[in-house]
Amino acid sequence: MIDAAGAATLAWREVGHAKAAISREDIVADHARAALSADIGIDPGPKLRFGRLVIEGEERMREARVRKIAGLPEGETFSQAELDRAAKRLRRTGIFSSVTLVEDDRITAPDVLGITATVVEQKPRRYSFGAEIASLDGLSLTGSWLHRNLLGGGERLKVEGEISNIGAGTSGIDYRLGVSIDRPATLTPDTTAGLAASISRLDEVDYFADTAEFGLVFTHVFSDSLTGRAGLTFKFQNGEDPGGSFEYRNISLPVGATWDRRDDPTDATRGFYIDAEVKPFYGLGTTDSGARIALDSRAYRSIGDSSRFVFAVRAQAGAVLGADLLDTPRDDLFFSGGGGTVRGQPYRSLGVMVDTASGDEFLIGGTHFLAGSVELRAKITDRIGLVGFVDAGRIDTGGFFNDSGDWHAGAGLGLRYDTGFGPIRLDVAAPAGGTTEDGVQIYIGLGQSF
| pLDDT tens per residue across span 155-187 | 999 999 999 989 877 778 999 999 999 999 999
**What pLDDT does 437 receive?**
81
Residues above pLDDT 90, as percent of the chain: 73
Rg (CA), the chain: 27
More confident position, 4 or 379: 379
Q: CA–CA separation, 92 vs 97, rounded Å?
A: 10
**What pLDDT does 134 receive?**
80
**Nearest Cα residue to 389 out of 427, 440, 359, 441:** 427
pLDDT tens-place string over residues 43-100: 999 999 999 999 999 999 999 999 999 999 999 999 999 999 999 999 999 999 999 9
**Nearest Cα residue to 37 out of 48, 51, 46, 25:** 25
What mean pLDDT do residues 280-309 have? 92
| Farthest-apart Cα atoms in the chain, separation | 97
Q: Quick one: three-class SS letters along 171-195?
A: CCCEEEEEEEEEECCCCCCCEEEEE
**Angle in degrees, 0-180, between the axes of helices 2-14 and 80-92, rounded to the nearest 10:** 90
Which amino acid, 443?
Y
**What pLDDT does 279 receive?**
97
DSSP 107: P
Task: Report yes or no: 48 and 16 within 8 Å, Cβ to Cβ.
Answer: yes
What mean pLDDT do residues 136-142 have? 86
- Residue 266: pLDDT band by 50, 70, 90 thresholds? confident
Residues above pLDDT 70, as percent of the chain: 100
Q: CA–CA separation, 207 vs 171, rounded Å?
A: 9
Structural domains in the chain, sorted by start = 2-43 (no CATH), 49-121 (3.10.20.310), 172-446 (2.40.160.50)
Task: Report yes or no: 43 and 24 within 8 Å, Cβ to Cβ.
Answer: no
Distance in angstroms between the alpha carbons of the first and the last residue of the chain: 42
DSSP 77: B
Q: CA–CA separation, 106 vs 235, rounded Å?
A: 57
For the chain, what is the mean pLDDT?
92
- Residue 304: pLDDT band by 50, 70, 90 thresholds? confident
Q: Which of 3-7, 103-107, 277-281, 395-399 has the lowest mean pLDDT?
A: 3-7
Q: CA–CA separation, 192 vs 182, rounded Å?
A: 7
**Angle in degrees, 0-180, between the axes of helices 80-92 and 63-70, rounded to the nearest 10:** 120
**Nearest Cα residue to 322 out of 363, 275, 289:** 289
- Residue 374: pLDDT band by 50, 70, 90 thresholds? very high
- Residue 280: pLDDT band by 50, 70, 90 thresholds? very high
In the predicted structure, residue 106 carries a pLDDT above the cut 80: yes
